[in-house]
Amino acid sequence: MKDSLVAPRKVQNRIIGHFQGSEPGPVLVFFGGIHGNEPSGVQALENVFKILNKKSENIKGSVYGIMGNIPAILQKRRFVEKDLNRLWLKEDIRRIKESKEVERTHEEKELYELLELINQIFDRHQAPFYFIDFHTTSSKTLPFITINDAMINRKFARLFPVPIILGIEEYLEGPLLSYINEFGYVTLGFESGQHATEEARINSIAFFWLTMVYSGAIPKEEVPSFDTHFKELKSSSANNMNFYEIIERFAITDEDSFKMEPAFQSFEPVPKGTLLAHYNKEPVYAEKKSILFMPLYQPLGAEGYFMIKRIPKWILGMSASLRRVKADHLLTILPGVSWKDSTKTQLVVNLKVARFYSKSIFHLLGFRNRKIDQTHVLINNREKAAKNHLYKDSPWY
């Protein structure tokens, strides 16, 4: 049955749709338009909630479709003043909550309303929660999933016939899903294709229905087009279901001039020496053979491009086994590595002592780094926060 919209009134226009099932079940929260120049997610959610209106009696749990940066969406811009998907840091959130409304930027007002809505969903419902954030890219791309590296995210993500990217949290500060992931719930970012293309909209619709079925919100037989949606995603991703890891980020600022060479695509192999872009009028070449990821073809953005590498299956298996036996405590045996505090959720690595350690050692056990200063790195462990017990009865787990 269709449920009343979440109060207060000022956030009601942010909810694209909401249905409350007649039986208990998962709580699915879909975001679209966190970046205002990426309309496909919003369009997909508008489409599926029209269909859900006819199927609502078969839905278990609760399903939300939420609009992100409304002023930026209206202006068809990535953001108005600041990137809304880079503001979800604890210190920024605390400052925004303590500030007066008239002092907040456009994006800070949006964050405040979204945060209020997310907190209401937490208060109103019981776990398990699934958070999905729809995005698109400025270049042509295969559809893909980005996740913070916890095993519950890996296990759920691998159900979908698209490539999966690990490690983006090490290179981006303040994404919405990194904030939500600290609560320990399943969170996936889905990049459905190139901005404003029909393929991106169709892929987002397909991803929505697969998520509904895989989470147990609706039986597979109640989605007659399920196989079609699966095949659409599989075809659009060129049968690529590999895991990848980000190994390089080319950072830029608003003061820099950056122009990517034309016609590059995500997941495109590039030989060493390939001319990639011009940065402040200087040519930028690929330093080694690699795989290009999310080259920038839009005016706003803080990343010119990324580089990725494929993760072998045996590495993924070893990582899962080590996490299962909680081998992370062995890391503190290494010189220069210690727990930050008694919670044992973060490691502090002294770079003067441990500068020769490979990041892959920490990645195997779910630790991703955050720079504190020039001599120390703070490394977060997503496994410590993950609420695995809430999903253990799910078929996919």
| CA–CA dist 51, 349 (Å, integer) | 51
**Pair of tokens at residue 327:** 């081998």
109 within domain boundaries: yes
Q: DSSP states of 81-101 as a string?
A: SS-GGG---HHHHHHHHHS-G
| CA–CA dist 110, 179 (Å, integer) | 15
Same domain, 162 and 282: no
Same domain, 326 and 264: no
306 within domain boundaries: yes
Predicted local distance difference test score (pLDDT) of residue 111: 97
Same domain, 66 and 128: yes
Q: Give every CB contact of residue 214 below 8 A, 6+ residues apart in sequence.
A: 156, 159, 160, 396
- For the chain, how long is the longest CA-to-CA vector? 62
CATH number at residue 275: 2.40.50
* Residue located via tokens 């504190």: 372
Same domain, 119 and 202: yes
- Burial readout 252-278 (b: 16 or more C-beta within 10 A, e: otherwise): beeeeebebeeebebbbebeeebebbe
Domain edge (last residue) among 204, 222, 241 = 241
Same domain, 91 and 71: yes
Q: From residue 164, how far is each of 86, 238, 268 by CA, in Å? A: 21, 13, 15
Same domain, 229 and 295: no
Same domain, 65 and 175: yes
Q: Check: CB of residue 35 under 8 Å from CB of residue 135.
A: yes
Same domain, 153 and 277: no
Predicted local distance difference test score (pLDDT) of residue 7: 40
4 within domain boundaries: no
- 381 forms beta bridges with 367
Predicted local distance difference test score (pLDDT) of residue 55: 67
| CA–CA dist 7, 376 (Å, integer) | 44
Same domain, 96 and 64: yes
394 within domain boundaries: no
Same domain, 159 and 272: no
Q: Check: CB of residue 56 under 8 Å from CB of residue 213.
A: no
Predicted local distance difference test score (pLDDT) of residue 60: 92
Task: Extract the residue ranges of the chain whose pLDDT is less than 50.
Answer: 1-12
Q: Check: CB of residue 147 under 8 Å from CB of residue 157.
A: yes
Q: Check: CB of residue 276 under 8 Å from CB of residue 292.
A: yes
Q: Check: CB of residue 210 under 8 Å from CB of residue 188.
A: no
Same domain, 25 and 159: yes
Same domain, 221 and 263: no
Domain edge (last residue) among 241, 269, 288 = 241
Q: Whole domain around residue 266: which residue ranges?
A: 244-310
pLDDT digits (tens, 9 = 90+) for 93-143: 999 999 999 999 999 999 999 999 999 999 999 999 999 999 999 999 999
Fill in the DSSP letter of residue 373: S
Predicted local distance difference test score (pLDDT) of residue 362: 86
| CA–CA dist 149, 168 (Å, integer) | 9
- 279 forms beta bridges with 258, 282
Give which of 121, 119, 92 is closest to 108, Cα–Cα.
92
**How many structural domains comprise the chain?**
3
39 within domain boundaries: yes
Helix axes 40-55, 198-214, angle to 10 degrees: 40
CATH number at residue 363: 3.30.70
Domain edge (last residue) among 257, 287, 310 = 310
- What is the strand order of the sheet 258-260 is part of? 258-260, 275-279, 282-285
393 within domain boundaries: no
170 within domain boundaries: yes
Predicted local distance difference test score (pLDDT) of residue 356: 67
